[in-house]
């Protein structure tokens, strides 16, 4: 099962023509997660896909909000991993899902790209993902290439 979180408008999302499986969950701006528990959905997925406009070298406010909501999967305590402080994962699904971070924007500077890569890897470590794949696209229309990236 994939969980796809995106900040695209409804028209832009429809134009992408993404391929889905029956159990995949799509969370978009203004949409609610089935059952209302985003953290539980993310905690039980095999692939988490974040599609975000690159905002100052990071995720858009909507994607950041979704990531904050999924923090309930984690215990309130922190631990030191790889020399960095991260949340402790409560569920048994750690390292079972891959994280795919897709950034789009027409004027992404090299500095913003580097910051986005750092944040994506840090989030992957915090979520204890088995791996992190990061891709950048110039325009939302080029996001159609995602079908070849997603499992």
**For residue 19, what is the domain's CATH number?**
3.40.50.360
* pLDDT > 60? residue 34: no
- Give 90's pLDDT tier (boundaries 50, 70, 90): low
Work out the average pLDDT over 54-74. 82
Cβ distance 74 to 24 under 8 Å?
no
Cβ distance 26 to 20 under 8 Å?
yes
For residues 98 and 38, the model is more confident at 98
Structural domains counted in the chain: 1
Work out the average pLDDT over 24-44. 70
E strand map for 14-141: 25-27, 47-53, 74-81, 84-89, 98-104, 131-137
For 60, the token pair is 């858009």
Q: Which domain holds residue 119?
A: 2-149
**Predicted pLDDT of residue 44:** 77
For residues 11 and 69, the model is more confident at 11
- Give 35's pLDDT tier (boundaries 50, 70, 90): very low
For residues 116 and 78, give the distance between their C-alpha atoms in angstroms, rounded to a whole number: 23
For residues 58 and 4, give the distance between their C-alpha atoms in angstroms, rounded to a whole number: 17
For 34, the token pair is 């089935």
């Amino acid at each position: 099962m994939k969980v796809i979180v995106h900040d695209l408008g409804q028209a832009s999302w429809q134009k992408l023509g993404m391929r889905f499986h029956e159990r995949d969950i799509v969370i978009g701006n203004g949409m609610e997660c089935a059952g209302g528990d985003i953290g539980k959905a993310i905690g039980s997925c095999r692939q988490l896909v974040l599609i975000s406009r690159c905002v100052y070298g990071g995720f858009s406010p909507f994607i950041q909000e979704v990531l904050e909501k999924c923090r309930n999967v984690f215990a309130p305590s922190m631990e030191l991993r790889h020399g960095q402080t991260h949340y402790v994962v409560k569920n048994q699904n750690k390292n079972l899902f891959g994280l795919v971070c897709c950034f789009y924007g027409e004027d992404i500077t090299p500095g913003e790209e580097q910051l986005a890569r750092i944040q994506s890897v840090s989030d992957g470590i915090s979520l204890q993902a088995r791996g992190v794949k990061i891709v950048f696209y110039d325009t939302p229309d080029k996001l159609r290439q995602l079908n070849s990236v997603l499992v």
